[in-house]
Amino acid sequence: MTLTRAEVDRIIALLEGSRFDRLSLEMDGLKLDLVRSGATPSAPRAAPPPVEIAPPPPPPVARDGLVEVKSPLLGIYYRAPRPGEPPFVEVGARVEPDTIIGIIEVMKLMNTARAGVTGEVVEIVAANGEMVEHGETLLLVRPD
């Protein structure tokens, strides 16, 4: 895999627009480590041991008993599958744990974001087409 200069510039912009000091990316034989200016680079490390992936924890409960559906990734949040198409969900929509509530674009890769909870969408917090941080609230759901 190769990256163009424009793609690398976009990745750098993602790092600079975030609160993180470091970004490591490894895919298809490509390894990219970026460290924000002034941050302390970490020493090379041995490969970590395999980690068993635990099921995701239940979503945290926000104010008034509402559940915050958070972004699983750092990237650009899109409410609809394509420009001009209706959003995946609107305020008042019913969602199930597997309901797709948006797309997070990371390096031109589109990743679905799912509700993770059953209930009614009360508020859409994240703006369409804007950068979201990992763990940032995308929308609020009143659980059943």
pLDDT of 4-22, one tens digit each?
A: 888 888 888 887 777 777 7
Query: What does the alpha-carbon distance between residue 73 and residue 134 come to, in Å, rounded to a whole number?
Result: 4
- Name the stretches of the chain with pLDDT < 70: 1, 38-62
Q: Please say whether the beta carbons of 18 and 10 come within 8 A.
A: no
pTM value is: 0.58
